[in-house]
Amino acid sequence: DIQMTQSPSSLSASVGDRVTITCRASQSIHTYLNWYQQKPGKAPKLLIYAASTLQSGVTLRFSGSGSWTDFTLTISSLQPEDFATYYCQQSYNTPYTFGQGTKLEIK
Amino acid sequence: QVQLVESGGGVVQPGQSLRLSCAASGFTFSSYALHWVRQAPGKGLEWVAVISYDGTNKYYADSVKGRFTISRDNSRSTLFLQMNSLRPEDTAVYYCARDEVLWRSFDLWGQGTRVTVS
């Protein structure tokens, strides 16, 4: 199985900050990498697919990059609604594993 | 509108069975693969199973293989998850999710249904 490792596990930041979350795959997944945002008590929401393609309707504050094994999610200028937990996920092959999550909290 | 709505969760004892449903609306159900994803209390997301658009191909996480069965009824636009021999570690919120097809991202999620095995 492909293991997905996110860092950091938690992050404190302020409104207006630029933040970056990283995700590493245990083997090459090309660009079959997706990012999701989850708020407490809610279902996950797709932000980015294919490593760098913004899902329709998602704010341009979010961007993704990377390929093969190393990927990043960047939020350019944090807004109050961005404080949530973020997950990466590989969709290269089954099982479609998720990273352990990064909880983004207000400083 | 375009949505997925899960149902069927509840509280069961270890060893018992439960069947979850996921009703789809607003899109051509039979064109999409579908997944079940679960989230144990306070934990991260765990992929559970996937079924192809026509139901011919199914894959499972090792943690549920042999106990859970994913199926679909395209005539009713409904996805199912039959869960047998339930264990306390199966306690979670179960989400159904639509597979975007090209990149296999999960672009539409239901609100989740809670399963407690105790």
pLDDT tens for the 107 residues of chain A, in order: 999 999 999 999 999 999 999 999 999 999 999 999 999 999 999 999 999 999 999 999 999 999 999 999 999 999 999 999 999 999 999 999 999 999 999 88
- Residue A31 has a CB neighbour count (10 Å cut-off) of 19
Q: How many residues does chain B have?
A: 118
Note the Cα A24 to chain centre separation in Å.
11
pLDDT in tens, B41-54: 999 999 999 999 99
pLDDT in tens, B77-106: 999 999 999 999 999 999 999 999 888 999
Q: Chain B residue closest to A100 (CA)?
A: B44
Q: List chain B residues with CB under 8 Å of A50.
A: 102-103, 105
Chain A touched by B118 (CB under 8 Å): no
Chain B touched by A67 (CB under 8 Å): no
In angstroms, the CA A81 to CA A86 distance is 13
Q: 3-state SS string over chain B?
A: CCEEEEECCEEECCCCCEEEEEEEECCCHHHCCEEEEEECCCCCEEEEEEECCCCCCEEECCCCCCCEEEEEECCCCEEEEEECCCCHHHCEEEEEEEECCCCCCEEEECCCEEEEEC
Bridge partners (DSSP) of residue B74 are none
Q: List chain A residues with CB under 8 Å of B104.
A: 32, 91, 96
What single-letter amino acid sits at A35?
W
